[in-house]
Amino acid sequence: MPAPRGRGDSPNFPDPAATEDTAVRLGAKIVTNSHGGRESGVSPASASSYPHPGVTTVVSAGDAGYTAASFPAVLPDAVAVGGTTLTRDSSARGFAESAWSPGGSGCSAYVAKPAWQQDSHCRNRTVADVAAAAGQLAIHFPGAGGWGTADGTSASAPFVAGLIARAGHAGTTTAATLYAGAAHFFDVTDGTNNRLCGGVKGGGDYLCVARLRRADGGGHARRPAGL
């Protein structure tokens, strides 16, 4: 859907929020955001403009690795999507999957821990909730005459949004429902998104080391089994 003129073409938080408002007003039941920034710089007015009851909001977790949680991915109403990398191998699936090293994750400094997250080393909202392919993705550029590659959770978030929509669950899927259906996810157990991850305080290394995933929490790479 084209962004409203003068609204969606800016990375400033009120502008994408206004674009979302327009999409929802026109009937969208699922929206996806590929923008984000430090939660410390967000005004209460900007934060309050994002939730849309009855609409699934899927948001990129960011491309800066393990760091401060990114807004608006950190909002409890958002499905925060991190990234994985696919590498060809000889398995039946044909690919090995690992955490994409720049994929965003973190622990919020401001947003309270939702009831559906139970990880013990992040007192507040943990990001990300789920992950999908974000590294070295094949992209066709019609105007440039060929194929190239691109990276980012700006791709993985729309992948997850598309999967939710194709499954017929737009408008009913939330981060909470994804945690309730954890059995339908594939845990990615290889890789890290922070080379200094061993320094995470309080035993919170599971936020940035895939093999230390927490089935009852968040912040690790979990791929929908059908993606």
pLDDT tens-digit map of 4-26 = 333 444 445 667 788 888 999 99
Cα 67 from chain centroid (whole Å): 14
CA distance 35 to 215: 27
- The whole-number pLDDT of residue 202 equals 46
CA distance 110 to 74: 9
- Percent of the chain with pLDDT strictly greater than 90: 41
| pTM of the predicted model as reported, rounded to 2 decimal places | 0.84
Tokens 């044909």 correspond to 94
Give the pLDDT band (50/70/90) at residue 45.
Answer: low
- The whole-number pLDDT of residue 6 equals 35
Domain 14-224 class, CATH top level: alpha beta
Task: Indicate the Cα dihedral angle 65, 69, 71, 77, nearest 10°.
Answer: 120
The DSSP letter of residue 156 is H
CA distance 108 to 124: 5
- The whole-number pLDDT of residue 3 equals 36
Type of residue found at 23: A
- The whole-number pLDDT of residue 37 equals 85
Q: Record the tokens describing residue 76, joined without a space.
A: 């409890």
Q: Is the pLDDT of residue 60 over 90?
A: yes
The kind and range of the H/E element at 44 are helix 44-48
Q: Is the pLDDT of residue 46 over 80?
A: no
Q: Is the pLDDT of residue 149 over 70?
A: yes
Q: Which among 56, 42, 69, 73 is positioned nearest to 154, based on CA atoms?
A: 73
3-state secondary structure 3-24: CCCCCCCCCCCHHHHHHHHHHH
Long-range contacts of 168-173 (CB under 8 A, 24+ apart): 169/56, 170/29, 170/30, 170/56, 171/29, 171/30, 171/54, 171/55, 171/56, 172/56, 173/30, 173/56, 173/79
Expressed in angstroms, the distance from the first to the final Cα of the chain is 24
Q: Which among 43, 44, 32, 42 is positioned nearest to 1, based on CA atoms?
A: 32
Cα 129 from chain centroid (whole Å): 7
For residue 85, list its beta bridge partners.
98
Helix residue spans in 100-216 (DSSP H): 153-166, 175-180
Q: Which of 21-25, 46-50, 136-140 is predicted with the least confidence, judged by mean pLDDT?
A: 46-50
